[in-house]
Structure 1
Amino acid sequence: MSDLPVRPASPGRFISFEGIDGAGKSSHIEATADWLRSRGHEVLLTREPGGTPLAEQLRTLLLQSPMDALSETLLVFAARRDHLQARIEPALARGAWVLSDRFTDATFAYQGAGRGFDLAVLQQLETWVQQGRQPDLTVWFDLPPAVAAERRAAVRTPDRFEQQDLAFFQRVRDGYAARCAADAGRFVRIDSHQPKEAVWADLRQALEQRAW
């Protein structure tokens, strides 16, 4: 697997939306999709884990069934492989803008930093599964874990990940910060501890500044 194929330039754009549960990314990904469609772009709105029938089945297992960090990681990357092949790559090839609620940075944050799983193994899986594919832009909605927990409690029953304590989510947040520092050109950090209108203004400005 050392000699990976050279990936041709894609006419579409791939944007991932990241952050700890409760950071507000899901509402803003919908607004971004509407904003792009109003400008004439085809938009594929998707999520991870999920996005295909197989990946959605794996998502259900991940969110509901107890398992160790290795099992979580393998299921996540299996779902990602199907997602890439069946939806993301075809959409990019035809020129669509792909907006994904989470991608690989979430795996490094949750399974890597949160669970303490071996980052070198994650990096190898990332190479095998993605064959060089990364988002053109990753929007990280950064929020203190305690604030995110209050938001989650107000709107939904927690799943297996959302039931974790604040220390877990602090590690996840630190994992996102590490990924952002390592690939600053791809990331935009949005302060999500602001009114929704201010968050959207920052996000729209980040999109408009891209020379696309």
Structure 2
Amino acid sequence: MTAISERPQMLPEQFEEFVRRLGRTVEGIWPEFINGKLGVKPVPDGDHGLITEWLMRICIQSRPELWLYDQGLKVETCRGGHARPDGTLAPSGTFGSQGEWANADGVLMVVEVTSYDSDTDRRDRVEKPRAYAETGIPVYLLIDRDSAEVVVHSQPDGVRYETVQTLPFGRSVRLPDPVGITLDTEPLKNWVR
């Protein structure tokens, strides 16, 4: 029997209906459903957007057959989670006809850029790595503006990522296969407080 604290707050279908009625964003938040709980993610600030733009340019130049999408994903196999990564790297055309919450099949990497809010530690550093690993997404890239570090999670085992590499901004970072892109993270120093 499932303990009360482990029961999801709602079913995935109820979350999707809630988001449809609410609209994608309301007063600076994006709703998500991670680990059976409704949560919110702040709408990105300008520097956050510049980081995403920087990464998109690198991905397109290095691997033109891929695209860095702004795509909601169905994550977590047992609780039917729904996450909205800051970037979802997949082959061009992967999400055709899938709607706002797509299946993660074909996703090579998800990206999160930390926001300056009280929930970022739990959301971006604890819950999302687990949800993305459970889903089998090969690489999770966390661009952590609080610590000025890039954290590369890889080799998901269905529960967690077996390999986690942490490097300070300014270092060169090789994103493992199937991504296979090298990032010069020096420019990230310009977009932290």
TM bin (shorter chain): 0.3 to 0.5
Q: Which has the higher contact order (CA 8 A, sep 6+)?
A: 1
TM-score by structure 1 length? 0.30
TM-score by structure 2 length? 0.32
- Structure having the higher strand fraction is 2
